[in-house]
Amino acid sequence: MVSRDLVVVGGGPAGYPVAGILARDGYNVALIEADKFGGECTNYGCVPTKSLLHTALTLADSKKLGFSYGELQVRSAFENALSVASTLSDGIRSVLERSGVKLVEGYGRVLPSGTVEVNGERIEAGKGVILATGSEPFIPPGIRVDGIRVHDNRSILGWEPDDSQSVIVVGGGYIGVEYSTIFSLLGYRVTLVEAMSRLLPGMDRDFSLLARRILAKLGVRVVLSSPVSQVRSESSGVRVLAGDKIFHGDIALIAIGRRPRNTEALRAGLPVNNRGFVTIGDCWRALGKFYAVGDIAGPPLLAHKAIHESIGLALCLKGDQFVRGQRPIPQVVYGLVDFVSVGVTLEEASRKGVNAVEVRVPAGGLARPRIHGVSDGFAKIVYDEESKRILGIHLAYPNASETAPAALLLVNRHTLSSALDVVFPHPTFSEVLQEAILASLGLHAHVSGVRMRRARKTE
C-alpha cells in the first residue's frame, strides 16, 4: 500500500491541471492515466483535428494558386496530426514531472474506500480521489467500429489513405461538420447524414444555415432528418441505412456524440444522473473524499470547460475562494469559418423571460475577412433591451475562436456602452465583433445590412 495526499484518475484536460497545480503547492499527488497523457483532447480530439484542418486549409489555398496534391500529401496530413499530438502529450508529461507529480501509467480501479488499484498496487488517497475519466465516443447499438471501413474519432486518425474516394459522415454536430470540412478540402466526396432537421442542432440557428451553405460550396452532400439505423462494412466499402435511404461509400465516420466514461465512478458508488454523469456539489465534491471534474461531471463536453473546472478544483482544495458558478462557456466549431457561441441566443433569452434584442452584422465588408478571401460570416450581439447588458455573443467568421473578449464581456457583465472601452486592433477578425457592438448602438462605420430582431418574454 502506497499513500498519497491526492490521487487523480485520468490525465486529460480535467486531470493534469489540478495535479500539477497541487503538486507545486506541496501536495503529494499521483496521476493515473490508462492511455496517453493529455487525454482525448490532445491525442484524439481537439489537437489532431485542428492540425488536419490547418493542413487541409493550407492545401486548399495552395490549390487556388495552381498547386496540386495527391495521396502522399493526404497521408502526410494524418502523420503530421499524430506527430503534433504526440509532441504535446510528451510536453504535458514533462510539465507534470517537473511539477513533482507521480505519474502512473495503467488502468486505475477506484474502490469505495478511496483506494485506487493500478498495476497490481494499491494507492491510498489521504485527502481525496479526483475522477477525471472523461468521455468516449457514443456508438449506437447495431453499429460496430472496425477501424478499417467504419471509424470513430479515434480510429480515423490511424486510417491509411488508400484509393478511397468517398466518405460518409454520420452526425451533423461539431465533430461531423469539422471532419466533413476536412475530408472535402482534402479532395474526397463527402455525404453528411444527420438525424435532426438541421446541422449543429445545439447552436444558433443561423449557424446551422451558414454551415450547410459552406459545406454545399465545398461539394458536401448534406442529408437531414435521417436517423441512421445501420452501418455495414462490406468488401467494396460501407452501406449506411438512414430512414428509408441507403448510402454507399468507401469509409464511414461515426460522429454522433459522446458519453461519460463512468465505470470507475459507478464502482466507487458515486451518484450519477439518468445520463450517466456524476452528480456533484460545491467544490466538485461527489461523495465523501471523491471529486469529479470535466466531462464525467456533465456537459458541455469541452476541453476548455474541463481545464477551467480543473483549475477551479485546485483553488478549492487549496482553500482559496472560488465559487463554482454558471460561467459562460464558449462553444466552438472550426472550419473555413469558426462558429463561436457564448451566452444565450435570442430565443433562449425570450424563454427566460427577458425582453431581448439581437443585432447581426455581416463579416464580409471588413478588412481582414476580405484579405483572406472570405465573404461569408457574421457577428451577433444579444442584449437586454432595458439594461443594455450583453447576454450572448455569436460569431461566424475565420479565426473567431480566438476572440476571447466575447466571453470576457459576458463574465464582467458589460453593457453595450461599457464594451466601447475595448479597443480592437486593426485589421483583425475580432473587428467583426466590435462592429456588432457598435451597430447595437447605431455607431457602426464599416458595414451595411445590419439586422435587428426583438423577442418578447413568453408568458
pLDDT digits (tens, 9 = 90+) for 404-417: 778 889 988 999 99
**Class of 2-136+259-318 in CATH:** alpha beta
Residue 220: pLDDT band (50, 70, 90) is very high
Element (H, E) at 433: helix 431-440
CA 101 – CA 29 distance, rounded (Å): 5
Q: What's the mean pLDDT when you consider all of the chain?
A: 93
Active site (annotated) includes residue 426 = yes
Q: Where exactly are the structural domains of the chain?
A: 2-136+259-318, 150-256, 337-450
- Evaluate the CA torsion angle 33, 39, 42, 45 in order and state its sign: positive
Asked whether the predicted pLDDT for residue 231 surpasses 50, the reply is: yes
pLDDT at 60: 83
Bridge-based pairing state of the strands 29-33 and 2-9: parallel
Identify which has the larger pLDDT, 48 or 458: 48
Taking only the tens place, the pLDDT of each residue in 249-269 is 999 999 999 999 999 999 999
Catalytic residue chosen out of the listed positions 308, 372, 394, 426:
426
CA 220 – CA 184 distance, rounded (Å): 7
**pLDDT above 70 coverage of the chain, percent:** 97
Asked whether the predicted pLDDT for residue 459 surpasses 60, the reply is: no
Share of the chain residues as helix, strand and coil, in percent rounded to the nearest 5: 35, 25, 40
| CATH placement of domain 337-450 | 3.30.390.30
Question: Which residue, 167, 163, 195, is CA-closest to 181?
Answer: 167
Secondary structure (DSSP) of 174-225: HHHHHHHHHHHHTT-EEEEE-SSSSSSTTS-HHHHHHHHHHHHHTT-EEE-S
Asked whether the predicted pLDDT for residue 458 surpasses 60, the reply is: no
pLDDT at 327: 80
Taking only the tens place, the pLDDT of each residue in 37-49 is 999 999 999 999 9
Question: Which residue, 241, 82, 269, 271, is CA-closest to 160?
Answer: 82
> Would 2-136+259-318 and 150-256 be classified into the same CATH topology?
yes
pLDDT at 142: 82
- 138 is written with which cell numbers? 457514443
Taking only the tens place, the pLDDT of each residue in 421-435 is 989 999 999 999 999
| CATH placement of domain 150-256 | 3.50.50.60
Taking only the tens place, the pLDDT of each residue in 350-390 is 999 999 999 999 998 899 988 888 888 999 999 999 999 99
pLDDT at 404: 77
- pTM, two decimals, is 0.94
Question: Which residue, 348, 429, 408, is CA-closest to 384?
Answer: 348
